[in-house]
Structure 1
């Protein structure tokens, strides 16, 4: 006779039971794409064993040293970002180097935004991302934990 396994219940979180944590990630000398995938997972809450697909159970992420992020190969000069004003002929083209020099936070924000779901849950998760060019951040009152990858 076969041995039966004990029945385990799947836990589904409710909105009221979500407990958000704050994490600090130092991205100095780390690859942009690899770090963006990990940040997206933490923002969605998929690093937590109680992740529920239809509930916003993600965490807050503070990214420091965004100006020291690394792009491999020739992507620093060949990767293009576009912006359009809405008027005819109003398209602007920027390289990754130009964005990194002028607004280094936007490089990480764009990479993470494109890895999040294009739904209400993804837009909420993006609001919990705080990116800073230097090593200082104003969120010490939240007592963030350091997250190493």
Structure 2
């Protein structure tokens, strides 16, 4: 079974709208043979991720939070810090991950998201 490759350009596109389109394609909801219990069969390639549009003051002010489970383990990091350490690819990957169902297929879906600059 060969996987279909879908190439999407992020140039001038809003981060959230791009993430919703990618999440739908990764799940396979654009196919007539969509099934909830099976991963989609396409690979999504994102081009020009450096030119994605982030509106307002989100780049400096949006925070991502996590907790280690230990006392004092509350971590807070901004979008700007993530972009400088891991790149804009990680921000889009986190946005798409939040739009996918939280089940066993999530890792399979995210493995088929790739980036090309």
- TM-score, normalised via structure 2 length: 0.83
Larger Rg: 1
How big is the alpha-carbon RMSD for the aligned residues of Structure 1 and Structure 2?
2.0
Higher helix share: 2
What runs of 5+ residues in structure 1 fail to find an aligned partner?
1-17, 136-149
Within a 5 Å distance, the mapping from 1:9-20 to structure 2 comes to 19-20=2-3
What runs of 5+ residues in structure 2 fail to find an aligned partner?
none
Q: Secondary structure at the match of 1:117?
A: coil
- TM-score, normalised via structure 1 length: 0.67
1:115 shift after superposition: 0.4
Within a 5 Å distance, the mapping from 1:32-111 to structure 2 comes to 32-103=15-86, 104-111=88-95
Distance (whole Å) between structure 2 residues aligned to residue 72 and residue 44 of structure 1:
27
The alignment of Structure 1 onto Structure 2 pairs a total of residues equal to 116
1:113 shift after superposition: 0.4
Higher strand share: 2
Report if aligned partners of 1:22, 1:62 keep a CA contact under 8 Å in 2: yes
Aligned equivalent of 1:29: 12
Distance (whole Å) between structure 1 residues aligned to residue 77 and residue 36 of structure 2:
36
